[in-house]
Chains A and B, each alone.
Chain A
Amino acid sequence: SAVISQKPSRDICQRGTSLTIQCQVDSQVTMMFWYRQQPGQSLTLIATANQGSEATYESGFVIDKFPISRPNLTFSTLTVSNMSPEDSSIYLCSVGGEGNEQFFGPGTRLTVL
């Protein structure tokens, strides 16, 4: 299994600003994933981040809005840009396990006013 930490755990932001979320894993992994969980909803995959290449975004998510960095095999960041109240969600990072399972960080709870 992998131990994943995220910073910040929560934040309240003003519309129009940006927030960068950090994700740290305790072991080297090839792929890291970023999810959004809107209130009372399931998880939606935002993008897959591979070290040394551009992130792969899912339909409905674009790099200008959610830029991702992956500088090494244990760390990634997701930025939520030009925020609006609709961006209020829990943002989760995860990594894959050997049995196709996923290990998740504790999440970042974002409220945009």
Chain B
Amino acid sequence: GNSVTQMEGPVTLSEEAFLTINCTYTATGYPSLFWYVQYPGEGLQLLLKATKADDKGSNKGFEATYRKETTSFHLEKGSVQVSDSAVYFCALSRLGSYIPTFGRGTSLIVHP
């Protein structure tokens, strides 16, 4: 079956530090890959996505590249801000399916 594995949190960084949150997946076929962000007290928002191998999704300074050879979709940002403090969820969705498989989520805490 499908599964998504994320690094455990919390990840604690100082402002302007470099961020990497690891995500690897197991899936049949060629899924679409997503990162969602959940700010405190809110629902999930789509942050970025990639639909095929070597695609790079990007948004708000965050990037992730669909690596089929390593079945990974690591989230990166060059310089985090306090406002980036949130829980980040990696997810995959098979073609034709609206029901994603979510990772456990990684909490990011950014200190001033």
Contacts and interface: CB of A to CB of B under 8 A. Distances in A.
Interface of A: 4, 6, 31, 33, 41-43, 45, 48, 92, 94, 96-97, 99-107, 109
A43 B102 contact: yes
Contacts of A42: 89, 102-105
A107 B40 CA distance: 11
A64 to B, nearest CB: 23
B44 A92 contact: yes
B75 to A, nearest CB: 16
21 contacts: A4-B43, A31-B98, A41-B104, A42-B104, A42-B105, A43-B89, A92-B43, A92-B44, A100-B51, A100-B95, A100-B97, A100-B98, A101-B32, A101-B34, A101-B46, A101-B49, A101-B93, A102-B44, A102-B100, A103-B46, A107-B43
B43 A105 contact: yes
B45 A104 contact: yes
Contacts of B105: 41-42
B98 A96 contact: yes
Contacts of B32: 99-101
Contacts of A43: 44, 89, 102
Interface of B: 32, 34, 36, 41-46, 49, 51, 89, 93, 95-100, 102-105
Contact of B44 (A6, A45, A48, A104): A104
Nearest to A31: B98
A104 B45 CA distance: 7
A31 B110 CA distance: 37
Given A97-B46, A99-B49, 6 more contacts: A33-B99, A42-B102, A100-B96, A101-B46, A101-B49, A109-B41
Nearest to B107: A40
B42 A33 contact: no
A101 B93 CA distance: 8
A106 B36 CA distance: 13
A103 to B, nearest CB: 7
A91 B58 CA distance: 28
5 closest cross-chain pairs (CB), A and B? A96-B98, A104-B43, A100-B93, A104-B44, A106-B43
